[in-house]
Amino acid sequence: MYIIRLIYKNTFRHKLRASLTILGITIVILAFSLLRTVVSAWYAGVEASSATRLVTRNSISLVFTLPISYKDKIRQIHGVKFVSSVYWFGGIYIDEKNFFANFAVEPKNFLELYPEYILPPDQKDAFFRDRKAVIAGEKLAAKYHWKIGDTLTLKGTIFPGNWEFVLRGIYRGRDKSADETQFFFHWDYLNETLKKTAPLRADQAGFYLIGVNNPVLAEEVAVAIDKTFKNSLAETLTETEKAFQLSFVSMSEAIVVAIQLVSFVVIIIIMVVLANTMAMTARERIGEYAVFKTLGFGGWYLAALIFGESLFIAMVGCTAGIALTFPVAKIFGNVMGTYFPVFNVATTTIYLAIAASFLVGAVAAIIPAWRAVTIRIADGLRRIG
């Protein structure tokens, strides 16, 4: 108990130096945690993927469509439970800065494929009944202050014109990783309009979402689907939902790697800062350490004092940094919700921050502790006075 009190008193012997060092560690841990959370948010879609869902798209590129006739053929393949045609709509709400994901889907099959999207029964029924109905995530509805029954107009970019929808449901995510910033409407509504305005673009799907009976069958089903449409005018590429999401992440892999590197660089920087602080502290107390040795205290006791002080500073800064991470992450998530619809601080991030702080505290104390332990009593006493 006495050594703990001594460590505490030693830490704040120079209050300004200790406070600034703790503040520096706090800022670094906050930055580290936010950067790691950004990386996690980048992979949120991958983490939310289900092993029972497959995506079938045109083998050339996602830009090219697939005939709607493929849906019935896919449904007949052994192991397939649900099939939903999906089309990226790319509409704009009021202004171009109001960007959010909006898709044309087949309502019943789509909601069966995504049980993590929770919709009240009455809202689900209303969504099914109304051809112009749309459902939106809670975060998206809250952002634009939408209410059930509101008429919403999107300006088409891929499909020109003003498209009117009626908000019939607001879904919430069952899991933290569920995206609550999306907008889903009837594929039939899009297709029937295209038959009148652009017949050549009708009866097409951007890609197909497929639910399999058992994840073990996923690979077998994927091979069977691609084999069915081999040598056709629109050959397919079928992959798991996770692989599909990873293909998008891989496009920006260099950015993700850069963020990860920066997150570790800031840890190295604060390690140097704390090491400098501890070196200054040890140099000032060389005479005191010599007195301790004269009184019979061993080298382990001096090392414990130095390591204890370094770890105490590091962990106080770590605690403050972690405490600030949650409110700052919430603010950042609200501001950047368009780009990071799922922005949650993972438990792994907290563990990494604690481990990094412990490592910083331990490494920063090694050289000062070694100098205190190895210095000769006579040399140390010369520093007094």
Q: Is residue 67 part of a domain?
A: yes
Q: For residue 59, give both structure tokens.
A: 């083998």
Instruction: Please give the Cα distance from 220 to 210 (Å, whole number).
Output: 13
Yes or no: say if 135 and 188 are a contact pair by the CB < 8 Å rule: no
Please report the pLDDT score of residue 294 as a whole number: 82
Please report the pLDDT score of residue 129 as a whole number: 92
Q: Is residue 125 part of a domain?
A: yes
Please report the pLDDT score of residue 338 as a whole number: 65
Same domain, 131 and 257: no
Q: Is residue 121 part of a domain?
A: yes
Instruction: Please give the Cα distance from 36 to 119 (Å, whole number).
Output: 32
Same domain, 34 and 120: no
Global pTM value = 0.77
- Domain boundaries, position 280: 2-44+252-381
- Predicted confidence (pLDDT) per residue in 284-333, tens digit: 777 777 787 887 878 788 888 888 889 999 999 999 999 999 999 888 87
Same domain, 376 and 256: yes
Yes or no: say if 180 and 137 are a contact pair by the CB < 8 Å rule: yes
Q: Is pLDDT at 385 greater than 60 in this prediction? A: no
Q: Is pLDDT at 1 greater than 70 in this prediction? A: no
Residue 60, CA distances (Å) to 70, 144, 256 in order: 16, 37, 26
- Predicted confidence (pLDDT) per residue in 30-70, tens digit: 999 999 888 887 777 666 778 889 999 999 988 899 999 99
Cα 150 to chain centroid, rounded: 31
Q: What angle do CA 45, 46, 47 make, to 5 degrees?
A: 90
- Predicted confidence (pLDDT) per residue in 191-213, tens digit: 999 999 988 889 999 999 999 98
Looking at 205, 234, 263, the residue that finishes a domain is 234
Give me the residue label for tokens 């130095």: 306
Q: Is residue 242 part of a domain?
A: no
233 or 2, which is more confident:
233
Please report the pLDDT score of residue 380 as a whole number: 65
